[in-house]
Amino acid sequence: MSESDIQQEINAFLDGWEDTPSRTKKAFLQLKEYLSGMQDIKLAFNARPGVTYSLRAAHPMQKDRDLFVMVDVIDDDPEDRWLSVCFYGDMITDPEGKGDFVPEGLLGEDAHCIDLEEYNDDDLSYLEARLNEAYKSASSLK
């Protein structure tokens, strides 16, 4: 799928998402823009209405893994969506303990997932720092 097709699919999803007072759409957009600003990454989007909408980021240096982060919009209640941002467990730290260890939670490998139920500047800054860690880990693979 081309970058243009992926962006069209994301835009169609976003057009149908009316943000709520929790502002999780705003949080998703901020994370998407942050990822889009990273050099050399490739974004993919996997829509599973009623389950999740997954934005996935990969770095071309990665050979054994298809991504370094998955930003899931949890769609079990479309009126009250929330985010779960998952990383491979060995790619990030979680110094404030905001996430959960999820055995085999990311494409069959152990994961570390940080949930976001409402927009919060501090939590988004924390997630961006974890994105930087995962990006650095992915970009240094040999």
pLDDT digits (tens, 9 = 90+) for 91-112: 999 999 999 999 998 999 999 9
pLDDT-derived band at 139, boundaries 50, 70, 90: confident
Q: How far is CA 87 from each of CA 10, 93, 110, 130, rounded to the nearest angstrom?
A: 21, 10, 9, 9
How confident is the model over 66-74, as a mean pLDDT?
A: 96
CA distance 73 to 96: 23
Name the token pair of 91.
């790619």
Q: Structurally, what CATH architecture does the domain formed by 3-139 represent?
A: Alpha-Beta Complex (3.90)
How confident is the model over 33-62, as a mean pLDDT?
A: 94
Checking if the pLDDT of 141 tops 70, the result is no
Checking if the pLDDT of 127 tops 80, the result is yes
Q: What residue ranges do the domains of the chain occupy?
A: 3-139
For residues 25 and 119, the answer to whether their CB atoms sit within 8 Å is no
Give the global pTM. Answer: 0.94
CA distance 22 to 19: 8
For residues 13 and 53, the answer to whether their CB atoms sit within 8 Å is yes
